[in-house]
Amino acid sequence: MRKSFHVIFAMLAVMLIPVFVSAGMLKITVGYKKGLEKSDNVRVDIKDWYWKFPVVNVPGTLEREKYSIVIEGYEAIRKHTDTLELIGASLSRNNMLFPVEGVLRIENKENFPRTLSILQEGEKNEKIDLTIPAGGMTEYVFTAPGDYTIVDTLFHWNTVYIRVLKSTYIFPISEGANKFDIPDISPGSYTIRIYYGTRWIYQEDFVMVSSAPQNLVYKIEDSAVSSINSVLNIGGDIVE
């Protein structure tokens, strides 16, 4: 009899857990007005053992504003893929943000093969070389969090800095109105962060209460983040 009572009690507990810890709906709205893209020119010297040929106005890495939102403490799995293009003597990006298991898609737009070295900072200082065929594509998966550097072995001025976060959910922000609905966040305290490239520039804490919906609204304009939820702005303006 006692055993049957324990079984019934356990079944009732399992059935009632969703009621007591029901997930809430989080709605995030971000209005993003894109600023000017920045690029620069560099001077390099090409040597052939005797002569030195100065090359001027070689395009540097194109700095494109790239913002992302990360919710600390929320780890719902979602496939994340971002693209790096090899164009002429330059790269399309110079800093990228990924979650663990994020996929980097590398596309070679030229008619000659390219080799990139991926170096992970830390005790091991591991290095992986990837060769992308002419007009081809390859993918690389970041399986561990940390900071990485990608170096172009042909054009050494091309460098990409990558930060891989423990979070498995990153929301890339596009120009215009961005709306993200997350229906399955459990009650509790969370932190929302906004990144510019690999740099964290804004933070705000919020609380999910039972199944009550929560709305967060932000604006990104003139390289600055503002919020109607709070006046907390950690990073301030972006200065490059």
Mean pLDDT of 9-27: 55
Do 167 and 74 touch, CB atoms closer than 8 A? yes
More confident: 221 or 218: 218
At 67 the pLDDT is 92
CA distance 49 to 156: 18
**Pure H helices in the chain:** 2-20
pTM, rounded to two decimals:
0.72
Is the pLDDT at 76 greater than 90? The verdict is no
In this structure, the answer to whether residues 87 and 149 fall within a common structural domain is yes
Q: Give the best-scoring range by mean pLDDT among 147-151, 212-216, 218-222.
A: 147-151
Q: How confident is the model at residue 208 (pLDDT cuts 50, 70, 90)?
A: confident
DSSP 188: E
At 44 the pLDDT is 56
Which residues form the domain of 189?
23-46+53-71+175-240
Q: Please say which residue of 144, 165, 186 terminates a domain.
A: 165
At 73 the pLDDT is 77
Q: Measured on CA atoms in the order 81, 87, 92, 96, is the torsion positive or negative? A: positive
Residue 15 lies in a domain: no
The CATH number of residue 133's host domain is 2.60.40.420
Is the pLDDT at 78 greater than 90? The verdict is no
- Helix then strand then coil, in percent of the chain rounded to 5, is 10, 55, 40
SS3 28: strand
Residue 198 lies in a domain: yes
Q: Residue 172: which of 197, 192, 191 has the closest Cα?
A: 197
Q: Please say which residue of 122, 138, 165 terminates a domain.
A: 165
In this structure, the answer to whether residues 126 and 146 fall within a common structural domain is yes
Percent of the chain predicted with pLDDT > 70: 72
Mean pLDDT of 172-194: 89
Q: Residue 90: which of 37, 21, 143 has the closest Cα?
A: 37
At 179 the pLDDT is 94
At 221 the pLDDT is 87
Q: Residue 102: which of 72, 148, 144 has the closest Cα?
A: 144
In this structure, the answer to whether residues 196 and 223 fall within a common structural domain is yes
Residue 6 lies in a domain: no
In this structure, the answer to whether residues 158 and 179 fall within a common structural domain is no
Mean pLDDT of 56-75: 67
Domain count, the chain: 2
Residue 146 lies in a domain: yes
Mean pLDDT of 116-130: 86
At 169 the pLDDT is 83
Residue 202 lies in a domain: yes
- Residue 137's CB: how many other CB atoms inside 10 A? 13
At 203 the pLDDT is 92
At 233 the pLDDT is 40
Structure tokens at 84: 């790096």
At 228 the pLDDT is 79
Is the pLDDT at 238 greater than 90? The verdict is no
Q: Residue 182: which of 195, 198, 170 has the closest Cα?
A: 170
Residue 206 lies in a domain: yes
In this structure, the answer to whether residues 128 and 192 fall within a common structural domain is no
Structure tokens at 126: 């591991």
| β-bridge mates for residue 72, sequence order | 191
In this structure, the answer to whether residues 95 and 160 fall within a common structural domain is yes
Is the pLDDT at 68 greater than 90? The verdict is yes
Percent of the chain predicted with pLDDT > 90: 38
At 168 the pLDDT is 78
In this structure, the answer to whether residues 84 and 153 fall within a common structural domain is yes
Q: Please say which residue of 165, 190, 216 terminates a domain.
A: 165
Q: How confident is the model at residue 51 (pLDDT cuts 50, 70, 90)?
A: low
At 33 the pLDDT is 86
